[in-house]
């Protein structure tokens, strides 16, 4: 069978790697893919890059090549309606419709949805008036969180620790229009404290199937300092998600979401990622939804998945996820992102990358911002690689990942030294 996978990041390399292991899969076409999925072809893993990204071109390709299933990695094509278009053309695709993807593409939609369906989340209000937003901030005080309503590629959330930062964020989004349409409305919400976890499930419209738990590291620097990024490393499982928290997440967040979307006439299908805040007293609040897998969470999660991913996705598309049990490697998988110089502001590209060792049973390298240029591997984005180590302990997995990174070189490479520190503690 032929599979089409849309996207080009580390998440997509990991999904392609896993899909290609299915005995039913002949080829995984990754559109447009990266240097890692390009080289996988040469090692006969059945992965091929496809240099297209227009939605209609993808439909045409899927029809022509009789693609069995299309899987969508990033949020942008989902928010643009790729699932609606594929379905209208009678093609099998896994992901939410454009309207259902509003759970991620509009913070106001997702907050109103959570409130309406009793899903625990931070208190908030939405504003399009600069004056009213400033007044609300003065009334509430700091710390406070300002979020652009629309998709802003990770730049849409400001956790303001004082009033000046909060007012500046409102001006940046509403008055100065720095985020364009995405910032034309802002959600201003209560600041929450606690430990975050990524809770990702597959949804088939009615049933939800939880993937292994994970935890991301959003800040650039060790000790969770520095600016927010797309994610500098992740590990799975996340011990903060105890069996009790796991049950609560399903009962209080995931199932009410699946039922609420169905009740609202927007049945949800696809990956659903709930960003959870686990408060010190053991309660959970949903910080946000993403309508896709996390990046870099996908890399350690796929490294641990033993079940046939295609089989699971087929059940998800057919509405029979209730019949599936997932099998996981019991080891911890820990992925460290290696980023480019000047990431996240203005990442430098075109640096030659050397020293990536072939994958082993406990060391895997997934590419993100890489491309092949004249047969040489060079950087092409902010997050360049994600190196995953596997071991029976978190510390062991850390050692494996950092040992592999030590052999890799490109000018200006930067990475956190402390991925997994909360689990080690």
Sites for ligand GLY among residues 212-231 (CB under 6 A): 216, 230-231
Give the number of other CB atoms < 10 A from CB of residue 20.
23
Give me the least distance between CB of 104 and ligand AMP, in Å please. 9
d(CA 272, CA 244) in angstroms, rounded, equals 20
Sites for ligand GLY among residues 29-88 (CB under 6 A): none
Give me the least distance between CB of 23 and ligand AMP, in Å please. 37
Whether 216 contacts 296, CB under 8 Å: yes
What x-and-dash track marks residues 379-418 binding ligand GLY by CB under 6 A? ----------------------------------------
Give me the least distance between CB of 166 and ligand GLY, in Å please. 23
Interacting span for ligand GLY (CB under 6 A) from 115-123, 263-271, 287-295, 356-364:
287-295
Give me the least distance between CB of 249 and ligand AMP, in Å please. 15
d(CA 378, CA 66) in angstroms, rounded, equals 33
Considering the rule CB under 6 A, would residue 290 count as an interface residue with ligand GLY? yes
Number of residue whose CB is nearest ligand GLY: 231
d(CA 233, CA 295) in angstroms, rounded, equals 9
> Considering beta carbons, is residue 120 or 205 the nearer one to ligand AMP?
120
Residue 385: both structure tokens together = 């690689």
d(CA 356, CA 40) in angstroms, rounded, equals 13
d(CA 319, CA 205) in angstroms, rounded, equals 7
Among 297, 314, 351, 362, binds ligand GLY (CB under 6 A): 297
Residue whose tokens read 């510390």: 395
Residue 231 contacts which entry, ligand AMP, ligand GLY, none (Cβ below 5-8 A, type-dependent): ligand GLY
Tell me the CB-side half-sphere exposure of residue 147, using CA atoms within 13 A: 25
Q: Which residues contact 113 (CB under 8 A, 6 or more apart)?
A: 103, 119, 257, 260, 261, 264
Nearest CA-CA partner of 238 in 285, 289, 290, 278:
278
Q: Order of strands, edge to edge, in the sheet holding 157-160?
A: 124-127, 186-190, 144-148, 157-160
Nearest CA-CA partner of 358 in 393, 395, 387:
387
CA-angle at 113, arms to 110 and 116, nearest 5°: 150
Residue 189 contacts which entry, ligand AMP, ligand GLY, none (Cβ below 5-8 A, type-dependent): ligand AMP
> Considering beta carbons, is residue 171 or 196 the nearer one to ligand AMP?
196
Residue 295 contacts which entry, ligand GLY, ligand AMP, none (Cβ below 5-8 A, type-dependent): ligand GLY
> Considering beta carbons, is residue 92 or 219 the nearer one to ligand GLY?
219
The residue count for binding ligand GLY (CB under 6 A) is 7
Among 149, 204, 295, 362, binds ligand GLY (CB under 6 A): 295
> Considering beta carbons, is residue 122 or 137 the nearer one to ligand AMP?
122
Give me the least distance between CB of 308 and ligand AMP, in Å please. 31
Give me the least distance between CB of 311 and ligand AMP, in Å please. 31
Residue 145 contacts which entry, ligand AMP, ligand GLY, none (Cβ below 5-8 A, type-dependent): ligand AMP
Phi and psi at residue 10, in whole multiples of 5°? -65, -35
- CA-CA-CA-CA torsion for 279, 280, 281, 283, nearest 10 degrees? 20
> Considering beta carbons, is residue 291 or 316 the nearer one to ligand GLY?
291
> Considering beta carbons, is residue 95 or 231 the nearer one to ligand GLY?
231
> Considering beta carbons, is residue 85 or 220 the nearer one to ligand AMP?
220
DSSP state of 420: T
Burial class (CB in 10 A: 0-12, 13-18, 19+), 247: exposed
CA-angle at 193, arms to 191 and 199, nearest 5°: 100
Give me the least distance between CB of 235 and ligand GLY, in Å please. 12
Residue 12 contacts which entry, ligand AMP, ligand GLY, none (Cβ below 5-8 A, type-dependent): none
Sites for ligand GLY among residues 86-115 (CB under 6 A): none
Binding site for ligand AMP (CB under 6 A): 122, 145, 147, 157, 159, 189-192, 196, 218, 275, 287-288
Nearest CA-CA partner of 350 in 410, 287, 297:
410
User: Which residues here bind ligand GLY, judged by CB under 6 A?
Assistant: 216, 230-231, 290, 294-295, 297
């Amino acid at each position: 069978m032929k599979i089409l996978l849309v996207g080009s990041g580390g998440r997509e390399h990991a999904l392609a790697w896993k899909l290609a292991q299915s005995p039913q899969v002949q080829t995984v076409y990754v559109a447009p893919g990266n240097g890692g999925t390009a080289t996988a072809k040469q090692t006969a893993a059945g992965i091929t890059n496809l240099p297209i990204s227009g939605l209609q071109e993808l439909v045409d390709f899927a029809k022509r090549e009789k693609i069995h299933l299309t899987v969508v990695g990033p949020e942008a094509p989902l928010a643009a309606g790729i699932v609606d278009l594929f379905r209208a053309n009678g093609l099998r695709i896994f992901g939410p419709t454009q309207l259902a993807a509003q759970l991620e593409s509009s913070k106001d939609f997702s907050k109103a949805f959570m409130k309406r369906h009793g899903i625990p989340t931070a208190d908030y209000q939405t504003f399009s008036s600069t004056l009213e937003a400033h007044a609300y901030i003065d009334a509430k005080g700091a710390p406070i969180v300002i979020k652009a309503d629309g998709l802003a590629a990770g730049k849409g959330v400001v956790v303001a620790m004082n009033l000046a930062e909060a007012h500046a964020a409102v001006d940046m989004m509403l008055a100065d229009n720095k985020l364009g349409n995405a910032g034309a409305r802002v959600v201003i919400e209560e600041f929450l404290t606690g430990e975050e976890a990524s809770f990702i499930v597959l949804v088939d419209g009615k049933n939800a199937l939880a993937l292994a738990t994970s935890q991301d590291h959003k800040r650039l620097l060790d000790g969770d300092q520095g600016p927010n990024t797309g994610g500098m490393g992740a590990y799975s499982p996340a011990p903060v998600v105890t069996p009790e928290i796991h049950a609560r997440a399903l009962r209080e967040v995931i199932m009410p979401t699946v039922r609420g979307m169905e009740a609202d006439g927007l049945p949800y299908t696809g990956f659903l990622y709930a960003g959870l805040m686990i408060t010190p007293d053991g309660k959970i609040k949903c910080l946000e939804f993403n309508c896709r897998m996390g990046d870099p969470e996908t890399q350690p999660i796929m490294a641990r998945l033993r079940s046939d991913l295609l089989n699971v996705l087929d059940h998800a598309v057919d509405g029979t996820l209730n019949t599936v049990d997932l099998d996981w490697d019991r080891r911890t998988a820990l992925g460290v992102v290696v980023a480019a110089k000047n990431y996240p502001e203005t990442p430098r590209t075109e640096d030659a990358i050397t020293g990536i060792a072939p994958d082993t049973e406990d060391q895997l390298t997934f590419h993100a911002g890489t491309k092949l240029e004249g047969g040489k591997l060079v950087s092409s984005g902010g997050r360049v690689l994600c190196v995953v180590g596997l071991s029976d302990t978190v510390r062991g997995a850390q050692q494996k990942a950092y040992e592999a990174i030590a052999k890799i070189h490109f000018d200006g490479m930067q990475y956190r030294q402390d991925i997994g520190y909360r689990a080690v503690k």
